[in-house]
């Protein structure tokens, strides 16, 4: 331990202590330094290897000690006293929701998109216990969060808030299973959201709008003289890639011989790799981008700062082009709609793979086909 550290240790006590005191010892040590505090659990049970693990809070350490001991004993066929089970369930209800969510996002069960939204949820939930999560608390959370702005500067959508509550519910369920106590019913249902809350965007790009937009982008004034805006939008329309995937793309991801762009999992929203075949038009765009390569910079769109800056800049350029209510992400809707309509050699499953969609429902949400387009395909 460092010279500035100190520790406080005590024997962990619970209903289990009185029943198994003769053959088990669990200690919790508080370790402090100038910047952080952690709680180290050491569990020694006769006939079992020593277990040592650290936690950011005392309640997490206490629960880990109790649950780990119980799992070891039940693995040996021991019968837990009824009052010990009751104590564990009561402790679970009294756990801080923040601690439960923190433990969940560190677990293998937590999906990447929940980990991404966790900081905002942790900041907003306040000092609430698991047992306090009732329908009234959920209503209050929705009311307080709806006016807040996203990282893009827009009000949070109901779908986003539904995701927040999904994280809370999953964390509580996971924690109950870890403690081996009854999983409480999570008191959220979609009837707490207003009618029409889904409000899926169906914004498409008309031919006139596309011509106006590309003409405006072609005239964009760029400090270093390399205008990548038309190429960025063109590649988005040909591939259906997300803004983040485009801005982070490097030349090592592109296989010209195979006409394939392979996105690494680190760049994708769902955190798994995805292969996008390049059309003839996309290959032409890639050739123009290669001519603009900057020595020592592997990024394809090396003139673009980051996804947030590009999105904000795009809104300004769209406004100059005379388009109303058009966002960069709408290009993805447009691209996927065009794939469904024009790439008839591709199956629905293949389009889903290219787009990175895990369900037909998600593909249907993005493929906003116009009635006139459907009518033109009728015999």
The model's pLDDT over 39-52, given as tens digits with 9 standing for 90+, comes to: 888 877 666 566 77
- 27 φ/ψ angles, rounded to the nearest 5 degrees: -125, 150
Strand order in the sheet with 274-277: 254-255, 260-263, 274-277
Number of structural domains in the chain: 3
| Domain termination residue (choose one: 140, 157, 192) | 192
Short-list 185, 201, 202, CA closest to 135 = 185
Q: Residue 378: is its pLDDT beyond 60?
A: yes
Q: Say whether both 70 and 108 belong to one domain.
A: no
Rounded to an integer, the average pLDDT of 260-273 is 92
Q: What is the pLDDT of residues 64-76, one digit of tens each?
A: 788 777 777 666 4
Question: Is the pTM higher than 0.85?
Answer: no
In a domain, 361, yes or no: yes
Are residues 241 and 308 both part of a single domain?
Answer: yes
Whether residues 108 and 252 share a domain: the answer is no
| Residue 185 shares a structural domain with residue 212 | no
The span from the CA of 342 to the CA of 338, in Å, is 6
- The answer to whether the CB of 278 falls within 8 A of the CB of 260 is yes
HSE-CB of 311 using CA atoms within 13 angstroms? 17
Q: Which two tokens stand for residue 254?
A: 């592109």
User: Which pairing describes strands 51-55 and 37-45: parallel, antiparallel, or unpaired?
Assistant: antiparallel
Is residue 133 located within the same domain as residue 250?
Answer: no
Asked if 54 contacts 39 with a C-beta cutoff of 8 angstroms, the reply is: yes
Domain end marker among 79, 107, 130: 79
How far, in Å, CA of 280 to CA of 76, rounded? Answer: 65
Let me know whether 291 and 334 are in one domain.
Answer: yes
| Same domain as 107, residue 219 | no
Q: What CATH number should be reported for the domain holding residue 320?
A: 1.10.443.10
**Backbone phi, then psi, for 73, in 5-degree steps?**
-70, -45
CA 333 centroid distance within chain: 20
Q: What is the mean pLDDT of the chain?
A: 85
Q: Do residue 22 and residue 61 come from a single domain?
A: yes
Domain that holds residue 165: 97-192
pLDDT tens digits, 101-138:
999 998 888 888 899 899 999 999 989 999 999 999 99
Give me the helices (H) in 240-377, please: 243-247, 280-291, 307-320, 329-342, 348-355, 360-366, 371-376
Q: Is residue 295 part of a domain?
A: yes
Considering the domain boundaries, does residue 90 fall inside one?
no
Q: What is the pLDDT of residue 56?
A: 80
- The mean per-residue pLDDT over the stretch 296-324 comes to 94
């Amino acid at each position: 331990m460092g010279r500035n550290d100190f520790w406080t240790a005590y024997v962990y006590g619970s209903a289990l202590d009185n029943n198994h005191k003769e053959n088990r010892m669990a200690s919790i040590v508080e370790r402090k330094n100038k910047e952080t505090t952690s709680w180290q659990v050491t569990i020694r049970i006769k006939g079992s290897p020593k277990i040592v693990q650290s936690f950011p809070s005392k309640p997490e350490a206490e629960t880990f000690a109790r649950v780990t001991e119980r799992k070891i004993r039940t693995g040996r066929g021991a019968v837990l006293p009824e009052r010990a089970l009751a104590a564990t369930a009561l402790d679970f209800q009294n756990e801080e929701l923040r601690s439960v969510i923190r433990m969940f996002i560190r677990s293998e069960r937590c999906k990447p998109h929940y980990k991404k939204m966790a900081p905002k949820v942790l900041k907003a939930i306040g000092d609430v216990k698991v047992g306090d999560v009732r329908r009234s608390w959920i209503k209050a959370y929705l009311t307080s969060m709806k006016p807040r702005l996203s990282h893009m500067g827009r009000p949070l959508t109901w779908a986003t808030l539904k995701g927040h509550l999904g994280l809370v519910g999953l964390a509580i369920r996971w924690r109950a299973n870890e403690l081996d106590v009854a999983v409480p019913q999570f008191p959220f249902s979609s009837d707490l959201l207003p009618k029409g809350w889904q409000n899926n965007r169906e914004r498409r790009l008309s031919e006139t709008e596309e011509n106006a937009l590309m003409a405006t982008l072609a005239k964009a004034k760029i400090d270093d003289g390399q205008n990548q805006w038309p190429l960025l939008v063109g590649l988005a329309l040909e591939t259906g890639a997300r803004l983040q995937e485009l801005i982070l793309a490097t030349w090592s991801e592109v296989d010209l011989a195979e006409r394939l762009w392979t996105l690494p999992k680190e760049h994708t929203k769902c955190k798994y790799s995805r292969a996008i075949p390049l059309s003839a038009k996309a290959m032409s765009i890639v050739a123009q981008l290669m001519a603009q390569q900057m020595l020592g910079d592997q990024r394809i769109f090396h003139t673009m700062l980051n996804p947030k800056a590009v999105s904000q800049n795009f809104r300004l350029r769209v406004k100059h082009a005379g388009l109303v209510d058009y966002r960069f992400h709408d290009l993805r809707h447009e691209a996927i709609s065009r794939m469904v309509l024009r790439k008839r050699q591709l199956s629905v499953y293949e389009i889903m793979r290219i787009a990175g969609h895990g369900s037909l429902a998600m593909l249907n949400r993005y493929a906003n086909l116009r009635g006139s387009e459907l009518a033109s395909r009728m015999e």
